[in-house]
């Protein structure tokens, strides 16, 4: 099939700062579709230093969209002016993008459109209807109600987030992980030497630094853990706009020697950094829930699946585990969000028991192989795409 995959807000491949998980998601879905013999046209924004068109691992990438530019930033400086001009600004922006997208779709003659939901989807899907191309909607954390009506099928991790009147066309599917790249690795001695870790235990968080990722709580928990065991190091893998604040917080608590901030790293280096870890964490805060209605029910943090694929035990907060990724005391520990003391207790508990960490990690790897690989995810998507084209 010819498949057009539209991810309007996410740079592919990942540039830096935001949406690393979304970029990984779009890349892995596209890559596996190509691997299975399909032609994939991926439409995304043009990030800094990226070409407008390129082929990446067989994926035909067209960077049709633009991130909000200087004009938008100028209007946003004055809240009153922005509130008046915002509807007109985005209507014109989305309409222009719709025209560019329509021209591309006519050129590529795709069998199905697969779109990661955004505010622009409500306009885009009208053009899909005019072009008579079946449209499948991917919902991660946001949707426009109008687009639910026009979609042939809706793909999301949890059916509960979608109004019941559309449940007949909802396919509840977990996201995935590349189990060929993220796997148990030996020989992390060189990296341990580079970061001066020696035989210290390492607690790792991979994230892009959004405030709901819980780094503040992790720092507070780390202070409690380090007070009991100064041979534990906390490694934060990633980078973003908020990281200077977190570094200042670590310095103010006198924890600099026990923290490593790697900054943005290449996707292929992430498995190596997870591999040198003893414990991994996903300490999402209640801000995840406060972002919007049922936001936590969308949560399938790719970082957790990557931890599991690397056979590492994970401490995750309850708000990020509503879809049951981690089974408590089997593949990791589930703790309350916004509770640094409970997070600290869980980390200390695992740090003391190497045998338990090994058993949890082994079980975690087994779970992702059987349930969470991108290959399994894409096989389900293929069936949806075939049915969409068949009944269009």
In this prediction, residue 265 carries a pLDDT of 85
Do the two domains 2-176+373-390 and 189-371 of this chain adopt the same fold? yes
The model's confidence at residue 167, banded by pLDDT at 50, 70 and 90, is: very high
Pairing of strands 332-335, 279-282: unpaired
Q: Tell me the pLDDT tens digit for each residue of 76-105.
A: 777 777 788 888 888 888 899 999 999 999
Q: In the chain, helix, strand, coil percent, each to 5?
A: 50, 20, 35
Across the range 172-200, mean pLDDT stands at 89
**pLDDT per position as a tens digit, 238-283:** 877 778 899 999 999 999 999 999 988 888 899 999 999 999 999 9
Domain edges within the chain: 2-176+373-390, 189-371
> CA 50 to CA 176: how far, in whole Å?
26
More confident residue, 48 or 1: 1
Strands 314-317 and 279-282: parallel
pLDDT, tens digit, for every residue of 366-378? 999 999 999 999 9
Query: Do 130 and 101 form a contact (C-beta atoms < 8 A)?
Result: no
For residue 19, what pLDDT is reported?
A: 63
Give the CA dihedral 131, 22, 283, 368, nearest 10 degrees. 90
Beta strands 135-138; 112-116: pairing state: parallel
Q: What's the CATH superfamily of 189-371? A: Glycogen Phosphorylase B; (3.40.50.2000)
Q: What is the CATH number of domain 2-176+373-390?
A: 3.40.50.2000
pTM, full prediction: 0.88
- The DSSP symbol for 328 reads B
Q: How far is CA 247 from CA 265, 288, 293, in A?
A: 17, 22, 31
3-state SS class at 156: strand
Give the whole-angstrom CA distance, residue 182 versus residue 286: 28
């Amino acid at each position: 099939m010819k498949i057009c995959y539209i991810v309007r807000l996410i740079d592919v491949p990942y540039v830096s700062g935001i949406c690393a998980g979304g970029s990984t998601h779009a890349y892995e879905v596209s890559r596996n579709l190509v691997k299975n013999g399909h032609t994939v046209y991926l439409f995304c924004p043009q990030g800094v230093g990226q070409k407008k068109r390129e082929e990446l691992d067989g994926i035909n990438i067209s960077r049709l969209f633009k991130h909000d530019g200087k004009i938008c930033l100028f209007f946003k400086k004055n809240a009153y002016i922005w509130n008046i001009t915002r509807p007109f600004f985005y209507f014109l922006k989305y309409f222009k993008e719709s025209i560019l997208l329509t021209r591309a779709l006519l050129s590529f003659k795709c069998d199905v459109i697969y779109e990661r939901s955004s505010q622009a989807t409500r306009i885009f899907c009208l053009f899909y209807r005019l072009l008579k191309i079946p449209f499948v909607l991917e919902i991660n954390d946001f949707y426009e109600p109008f687009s639910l009506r026009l979609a042939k099928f809706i793909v999301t991790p949890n059916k509960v987030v979608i109004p019941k009147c559309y449940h007949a066309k909802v396919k509840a599917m977990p996201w995935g992980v590349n189990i060929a790249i993220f796997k148990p690795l030996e020989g992390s001695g060189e990296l341990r030497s580079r970061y001066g870790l020696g035989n210290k235990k390492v607690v790792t968080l991979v994230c892009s630094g959004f405030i709901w990722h819980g780094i503040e709580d992790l720092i507070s928990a780390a202070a409690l853990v380090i007070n009991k065991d100064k041979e534990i190091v906390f490694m934060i893998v990633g980078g973003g706009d908020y990281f200077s604040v977190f570094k200042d917080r670590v310095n103010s608590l006198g924890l600099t020697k026990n923290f490593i901030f790697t900054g943005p790293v290449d996707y292929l280096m992430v498995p190596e950094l997870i591999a040198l870890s003893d414990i991994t964490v996903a300490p999402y805060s209640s801000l995840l829930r406060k972002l919007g209605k049922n936001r936590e029910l969308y949560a399938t943090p790719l970082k957790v699946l990557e931890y599991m694929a690397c056979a590492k035990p994970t401490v995750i907060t309850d708000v990020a585990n509503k879809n049951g990724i981690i089974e408590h005391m089997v593949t990791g520990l589930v703790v309350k969000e916004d509770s640094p003391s409970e997070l600290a207790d869980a980390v200390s508990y695992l740090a003391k028991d190497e045998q338990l960490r090994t058993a949890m990690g082994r079980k975690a790897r087994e779970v992702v192989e059987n349930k969470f690989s991108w290959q399994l995810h894409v096989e389900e998507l293929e069936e949806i795409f075939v049915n969409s084209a068949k009944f269009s």
